[in-house]
Every structure is written in C-alpha cells, then in structure tokens.
Amino acid sequence: MAVRRRIKKEDNTDPMGLVSNLFDVAMVFAVALMVALVTKFNMTEVFSKEDYTVVKNPGTDKMVIITKKGEQITQYSASDRQEEAAGQRSKRVGIAYELESGEIVYIPE
C-alpha cells in the first residue's frame, strides 16, 4: 500500500520581493534605453578617452561649443549676456568655415 503524503504549501510570498524584482527590471530597461540613445545619436565619443569638440546650434546666437580634454568637459556659449565664470561679455564677431582641404576661412561680420 502506497502512502500518500499531502504536502502543505506554505505561503512564502514576500510582498517586498516583487518590488525589488520590479526595481531590477526598471534598472535594466533604463540602461538599455541609455545605450540605445547613445548609439542612435552617434554619441559614443562621449565615453571614449579621446578629446573632442561639439558645436550645438552653429551660426546662431544660442551657439554652444562643448570641448572635452582628458577628464575635463568645458562649455562655451556665444551670447551677449554676462558670463558668471569669466566675468566678461562676449559677442559673435564672424564666421569660420573649414574647406575640404582642411584650410579654415574666417569671415568677419
């Protein structure tokens, strides 16, 4: 005669365990989204060790030049307002074009 044992399932559900699992899923989603955005907008140089310069809104009053040298990232803006860090005013004085030969042509305004 076979003996049947009835195993009683204990209720071991932890409500905070579900919350921690949701947090883990959210973190994985956030990292995947950041990687997708970086590759979509070709911003991989931000994470490289090479120096680079980025110009946002070129030719406008809201132009911003962002440079990275080593670990330091600096931002310059071409605006007519007072710069807090430099304590000087700046204004746009001309336009520079780089030709296919690598030569730079400056046109004053």
Rounded average pLDDT over 65-69: 85
**Residue linked to tokens 């959210």:** 26
Spans of all domains in the chain = 15-48, 50-109
Rounded average pLDDT over 36-51: 79
Q: pLDDT of 24-38, one tens digit each? A: 899 999 999 999 988
> Higher model confidence: residue 11 or residue 105?
105
Which of 6-10, 29-33, 99-103 bottoms out in mean pLDDT, i.e. has the lowest? 6-10
Q: Is the pTM of this model over 0.75?
A: no
| Residue 83 and residue 76 in contact, taking contact as beta carbons nearer than 8 Å | no
